[in-house]
A and B are shown apart, each in its own frame.
Chain A
Amino acid sequence: MLEVEEQDKFGDHLFASGHTACPGCGQSLAARLVLRAAGRNVIVVNSTGCLEVFSSKYPESAWEVPWLHSLFENTAAVAAGIEAALKINGQLDKVRVIAQGGDGSTADIGLGAISGMFERGHDVLYICYDNEAYMNTGIQRSGLTPYYARTTTSPPGRVSMGNWRPKKDVPQIAVAHEIPYVATASVGYHLDLDRKIRRALSIRGPKYMQIHVPCPLGWGSDPAHTIDIARLAVNTGLYPLYEVEEGETKVQKIPRKVPVEEYLKLQTRFRHLFGKNGGKKELEEIQRIADRNIEKYGLIGK
């Protein structure tokens, strides 16, 4: 077995072992892959959330790059300040700034700061690790929780089938800011993810990436199936992978349409859709979302 120092020569350990994410955590894997692609010359700003908590219990940091956590909703603004300091000190040609957070800090509480950072044109890559709920506080609904998912604040009940709204389309909100690069990615497709991070960091100005990261605890899925589930989300059409560069959209095609049930049934957060008390109508609605994505982005065919 190699010593830790030698293991590090592989260069993909800028996010160190010993972090305290749950087994099979998609977010911790994605964070590691992001840093692997980004390399050492980055400064990372992290929102409050799972990733922050499982990687930065004082003094045991998992980060091998300069890293800062401030608050829940100000990550894009803090990153903008860091970028401004690097710019005035003439360091922006060799150092990149990454701001990152979960779906709650991105789509909900921090959206204003992100919009401001985009609009002002800061040279910052913002990454949203989308695990589709406030996992750190115990699986509450966020603006990125999918339709009909069970969370602790969108529970199915006698008069409810779970989350009553579809996901907020944050990537398209980013596109509307006319920033130079927007992409969605999935922890299930590491090559695509790696390429998009490298692409994003090669472009100057504000960039947005949203990475789908299964959360075994919050989704009620088998930790061993994190990657499979992430891929199913893509292949059903529920999580279309695309990138928008200078207004032009390129998509990652899917080989064939997988019915949404294949994806949903592996997660207890959708179990109520498969019970005696119905769920057929809701499943059809979710299928329609997938179908619409397939059509809108041209996910199937040439």
Chain B
Amino acid sequence: MAAEVAAQPVNGTATGSRARWKHMDTLLSRPGAYTDEDDFAPGSVPIGNIEQSRILVIGAGGLGCEILKNLALSGFKHIDVIDMDTIDFLFREKDVGKAKASVAAEFVMKRCPGCVITPYAGKIQDKDEDYYMQFNLVICGLDSIEARRWINATLVGMVDMENPDSLKPLIDGGTEGFKGQSRVIFPTMTSCIECQLDMHAPRAAVPLCTLATIPRQPQHCIEWAHIIKWEEERKDLVLDTDDPEHITWLYQKALGRAKEFKIEGVTYSMTQGVVKNIIPAIASTNAIVAASCCNEAFKIVTSAASFLGTPGENNYMLYTGDASIYTYTFEHQKKDDCPVCGNLPKDLFVNPESTLGELVEGLAERPEAQLKKPNLRTEEKTLYYSSPASLEESTRPNLKRKISEMLADGEEFAVSDPAFEINFRFIARYA
């Protein structure tokens, strides 16, 4: 391959021929209209930074694959990617069953020689702080809120004020249909994922009694088949939402129930959507959000232009494309009572006449909490533990007791959840 003349002179920090990077190097070798001399020295420094940075990408699905491609074509050379899933999609039949992370890494590396992408097929929770410490920046492209919260708490926890290298910018992207968002977090310095949790309120669950006795919607019939009927009739079989026989069984049960109540609209596709919680997704939205995340990464690493996440500046871009094109770019404020990056407990309004059980149930749905297996205690006593089983059993009677018996107005209590390594501090406020 002929590669003699680099477009722009670069010094020792950049390696090898730069001919293929002509476009990028031209831009990085000239001062920008929005840069100042102190922050940006055109030429070898930003180019060297790109070459030497190590980036971690979490997720190798629709968003993750785009992110890997974008990073490789932004000149990054050292990328790691984590994804626990195998390919179930029918895109390339020969890849079905392989780890998403490895297939994505191989595909991008083949197209972009010189870029090394190291895949890890597993969970982010398998890795410790030493692992995360190797990277300069982390980009998340996943559909799991839980994983986002975990990596966020981990990166915030890693910050050591004595060691500037311990601060790892976190860039997060997410999409649903024609909508999406990208956001940049400088752990401990700017609003974190946990501060922003209420921006993504969980869908309210349908009460069990509606499913059991008064279904009204086709979805209620499907949930009934899924949550109640399967347990009753196929208890010994683990439900596999990818098994068409299982979905068909649920579909037919739901259809039967719908007929009984004269409810219209149960379809196979809806059954699948409800049971698997399928979020509509399209390639173009993934492209927009992934590229926005990588553009921010590129700007952070090179200082070639201002980036989202500078403390006191915008850190969040919301995108909607279903009615014209609209972006809202703003600064989400850091919260002092954030359980992860703040130092104050959060107020939680409770009805003193309601039961502790209702509070525990509510924690799963409250936008600012979203804790599904909570363990609750005050400084003096244990209120309720979801696990282990022995503790659950001994604290279960408390669920029936009134809040006013268990928590004083203004009393602080802590909630932990095995999914996260942190304690959430709340103050009960009678409402």
* Chains A and B belong together in one complex: no
Q: Could you tell me which B residues sit within 8 Å of A by CB distance?
A: none
Q: Could you tell me which A residues sit within 8 Å of B by CB distance?
A: none
